[in-house]
Amino acid sequence: MTSLAGRIGRATATTLFAGAVGGVALLAGEAIAARTRRYAKPTMGLALRTSMGPSAAPPLRLVLLGDSAAIGVGVEWLSETVGGQLARLLAEGTPETGQRHVLLSSVGVAGSRSTDLATQVARALLGDRPDVAVVLIGARDATGLRSPDESATHLGDAVRRLRDAGVQVVVGTCPDLGAVRSIAPPLRQLTGWVGRRVARAQAAAVVAAGGVVVDLGDETGAVFRADAGTLCYDGFHPSADGYRVWAHALYPAVLDAAQAAGRRTTLE
């Protein structure tokens, strides 16, 4: 009986070890496949500065910072990007807020991590001060397996610098990476878990720095998981539909920020 139990124990241990090795090999293979996929590139002709709305309306300077989401990788027209769609919504306004003349710009860079925000903040604050900054960052921090707390610290520092300069700040945290199609299961689920950890750390850091948080994973993840059309051809970056989903999730907070910026301008 003892000998049988020992053989069973050794067989079980061998099976578990082989399963673990196989699991690691599977994840490694999927990671290599994900890195070697053909991903969308920034559209060189996509304007990073434009204006929308009646020129006689009150001006609003809106700047986007962050990664590929801040410049619309995956679409071809400015009107399809998050910034373009937010600018249109703000320019059209509501009966309560009225129209605005939105001056839109972006200092985002595709592939950026939170450590790159310091340079982007410096660029955003050159010249005329923005009224509202929208920061979209976190995906590369998560896929690069950076420490969530370290990434959040850099983001918090960026938000604090913008707030100290008098800029209203809205941050869209790391999106639901468990919804991307360019990464196969089970690596997709693992990446999604890391992304949620990054988003939670980001939210705490942004609030502490005086910014406003929009949890893109929580608010839009279910839509991206259900509708493959929210991603562009590479299965990673959003399509025009995906950016529209993000823009409408961000809009209430951005509108509040615009109104707060307007009140501050009036007082000054």
Active-site position among 67, 68, 116, 151: 68
The yes-or-no answer on residue 157 being catalytic is no
Active-site position among 234, 241, 248, 256: 234
Q: Which amino acid is residue 157, in one-letter code?
A: D
Sign of the CA dihedral with 147 first, then 148, 151, and 153 last: negative
Give how far Cα 107 sits from Cα of 38, 48, 140, 247, 254, Å: 24, 8, 17, 18, 18
Q: What's the helix, strand, coil split of the chain in %, to 5?
A: 55, 10, 30
Sign of the CA dihedral with 25 first, then 111, 154, and 82 last: negative
CA 264, chain centre distance (Å): 27
Whether 178 and 192 have beta carbons less than 8 Å apart is answered as yes
Active-site position among 106, 154, 237, 239: 237
Whether 240 and 72 have beta carbons less than 8 Å apart is answered as no
CB neighbour list of residue 241: distance below 8 Å, 6 or more residues apart: 227, 229, 230
- How many other CB atoms sit within 10 Å of the CB of residue 243? 26
CB neighbour list of residue 54: distance below 8 Å, 6 or more residues apart: 91, 99, 101
The yes-or-no answer on residue 68 being catalytic is yes
Whether 213 and 202 have beta carbons less than 8 Å apart is answered as yes
Q: Is 53 exposed, middle or buried (CB count within 10 Å of its CB: 0-12, 13-18, 19+)?
A: buried
The yes-or-no answer on residue 234 being catalytic is yes
- Catalytic site residues? 68, 234, 237
